[in-house]
Amino acid sequence: MKIHLAVLYKEYLDLILEGKKTIEARFSKVKAPPFRKVSKGDKILLKESRGPVRGEAIVKDTKYFEGLTSERIQELVNSFNDGLQIKNDFLREIKNSRYATLVFLDNVSEVIPYYVRKTDRRGWVVWSQENQKYVQETLDGPPKKSDMNPYFSDCESGLHSFFKSSIRNKEGYPCCRNCGADVVDWKRLHRRDSDDIAATIQELKKEWWRTHWWNVEIDQKALDHAISRKTDLQVLSRKRIQKSVGTVYDLKGRLQPYRDGYQTPYQGNIIYYAQHATGTCCRKCIQYWHGIPEGRDLRDEEIDYLTLLVTAYIRARLNEGGGSRDK
């Protein structure tokens, strides 16, 4: 059995993990991996492009094609697209390919994300002793503590991770992805009661990632800007919510803000810190923390509520003495 590292765009990897895409296809102009390199029973690590390994699968079967023409490529896609889920824009990219590999996936599972060190642009790596340099962390190890790792948790201290968790309670709400703890009052959160902000903040702080942003030292540029614009911060916060997460666009068939999940920087403005701390940084976080569905514009009352959370963070951090780290 060989192990392969397959790099996929997020939209296709999501489809695989959701069980909608059951065949991974690779097209090329030359004989390059995985062509004739994949066998039944091999293991595939599913890595998000510019992101972590998020899943694993076993090869159920493979089919290889060569001497392709644009007409033959279209025939292949028509025959297998229930499993391929190929988009029209990708068809245009592969129209001049001469070789194709279809990998039929089985036993697909989502894993605790981990990172591998990869320094080239290959979309498919056949694992061997010679290229172990691409491994940064053990394949089955827990997520490592990092200031930029929302998957990390310190469960023994009551700080969990609910980010993209596949573990759900009987009502369908997220449990900790690393220990399965069901400790958040999601129904209370999803009522979005503006008179219950203090309790909402305490629920948010049950996640390691949110607590990190409540305690992290605020950079001097962000702090100076916040102090100089102190009287305007509520207005500025509302504008930031509207701009960063309030409006969705049709991006390759999906309604979402531009670069959703990456649109909120980590420093330079105290509002960015507040968004990460209060789960208002992207629509995925807003959906699981505040119960507002993705795929539509935010309503005025929803923007008002999220702005209240952001400004509550800003007031708390400025009042504690200039954003210094909690002791």
Q: What pTM, to 2 d.p., does this model score?
A: 0.59
Q: Determine the pLDDT at residue 326.
A: 41
pLDDT in tens, 175-222: 998 888 999 999 999 999 999 999 999 999 999 999 999 999 999 999
Would you say residue 253 has pLDDT above 90? no
45 alpha carbon, distance to own chain's centre: 17
The predicted-structure confidence for 263-316, as pLDDT tens digits, reads as follows 999 999 999 999 999 999 999 999 999 999 999 999 999 999 999 999 999 999
Of the candidates 16, 82, 23, which has an alpha carbon nearest to the alpha carbon of residue 55? 16
pLDDT value at 318 more than 90: yes
Domains of the chain, each with CATH number or no CATH: 3-134 (2.30.130.30), 155-319 (no CATH)
So what's the pLDDT on residue 144?
A: 64
Residue 31 scores a pLDDT above 80: yes
Digit-coded pLDDT (tens) for 77-130: 999 989 999 888 888 889 899 999 999 999 999 987 776 656 578 899 887 544
Closest CA to 28 of 104, 161, 123: 123
